[in-house]
Amino acid sequence: MKRWRTQLIGVGLTGMVWLGYALLGRRVARYVFAHFSETVMWLTVGSVMDAEKFVQNRLWEAAYLFSALVAVIIIHNLLTGIFLKKTSGQNAHWIFHAIVGFVLVNLWLAVACHTTLFWFAFWQGKEGTTALARFQVKYHVLLESRALPKAAIMGSSQAHRQVDDQFLNDYLAPNLHTGELGWPGAHAYDVYLIHRGLDPSTAQIIIWYFSEADFYMGLSGDTVPLFFGFKDIPDCRKFDLEKHIPVRILSYGLLSDLLPAFYLRDVLSQRILGPGVAMIRQRQHDATVKDNLDAGAARLSRMFQIDAKSALQKSALASLAMDCAKRQQRLVLIAGQLNPLLGRRLDPALRIDLLSFLRELQRQHPDIVLITNPPFQEVSDYIDLTHVNDERRRAFTRFVAEQLKATVLTNVAASASIMPSGVFKTTNSTP
């Protein structure tokens, strides 16, 4: 009787939560917006178009997650009553609760990972939040946006530093809403892998700024443990991944796909140990390239080469282009550069090989917008070997805005729909 009473209390509380949301949800959202709108915009890095609606959606997610938690507790109680007897020994109780609890916790986390509110719980400022939590927050915010069309800036931190999504929104609103979905150190295969996991409605335009580093510096192993899943197993044969990525790393990706608790291991560690943990590797990287740029350029230049790994990166970009075509997304490729201190040390054959591949790719996919001659950037425009300063960032973002106006946004009005060819046309319907 006690167990049933607990379940009835849980169901009753859930009903009260949803009733409270139905009656007061809009009022609470309006109050929060009126008194804390600046805080909301800070949390969302200024990427929310309707802060009041954003708050209301988070209240809905809070009720949803509470309901899921109650459901998990009820399921645990039911399973306990079915499989455990009063005469069962202490060891049997311990083993049962450990196994069932582990499964149910992962089920709840699997549900929670699909909500924006859950990821905001790990937000500790723009610089102190882990890459995964930061990416998921931006992804869910962009996915939730009702603006059409939408664009996603993908690539490494170099792409993010080169093209500012907020500046781009200022220049192109209301004809385009842009979000940044980059990943630190991402190369071509990483961009392909991340893009595969995105909901097709996230963006209608994919913008990627890259340089020789994205193709000729080997493979980055950071994304595979987080974004490689069971759906990507065919890639093992397609790209011969086992020859380039350790099976142990691929297994981590499969385990993360199966167990959300494993997927969240770094995020949870950062939340427990503090924001400083999230920036350890970035500080180590910065220390190696900022102290002596000439020495760093000499050291890094020896890592660039045309080999089997660069062939994999190019194959990944070709697959990304095919995926964008299937999703009716317009792919904008910007072949950028590195700091001239590093770029001048590279074998010119690298650039020739890259441009030759890009032009052939555009021939196969005519809808690709390929920009191969962006404004040249001097040494003084960089703060290290890959990232430009704020002034150059704003200037380059203006350049990208003009390029988008002249290509993919030529016929966009206040409402737009994307056509099978990847070209926008004006419609009279409301999105």
Answer yes or no: is pLDDT of 393 > 90. yes
Cα angle vertex 360, ends 151, 373, to 5°?
60
Of 208, 166, 202, whose CA–CA distance to 398 is shortest? 166
For the chain, the residue count is: 431
CB 250 within 8 A of CB 228: yes
Of 84-98, 211-225, 416-430, the range with the highest mean pLDDT is 211-225
The residues pairing with 370 across neighbouring beta strands, listed in sequence order, are 333
Residue 305 in tokens: 């080469």
1 has a pLDDT exceeding 60 = no
- Per-residue pLDDT tens digits for 310-342: 999 999 999 999 999 999 999 999 999 999 999
Cα separation values, 7 from 51, 175, 277, Å: 36, 51, 40
CATH number of this structure's domain 147-218+283-425, picked from the four choices 3.40.640.10, 3.10.310.10, 3.40.50.1110, 3.30.1550.10: 3.40.50.1110
**In this predicted model, which residue has the larger pLDDT, 249 or 53?**
249
> pLDDT per residue over 24-57, tens digit each?
988 888 888 776 666 666 566 556 667 788 889 9
Q: Which residues are CB-neighbours of 175 under 8 A, at least 6 positions away?
A: 149, 409, 412, 413, 414, 416
Kindly list the domain boundaries of the chain, sorted by start residue: 2-119, 147-218+283-425
Q: Which residue has the higher pLDDT, 178 or 43?
A: 178
Least confident of 11-20, 34-43, 118-127: 34-43
Give the integer Cα–Cα distance in Å for 304 and 289. Answer: 16
pLDDT at 416 over 70: no
pTM value is 0.87
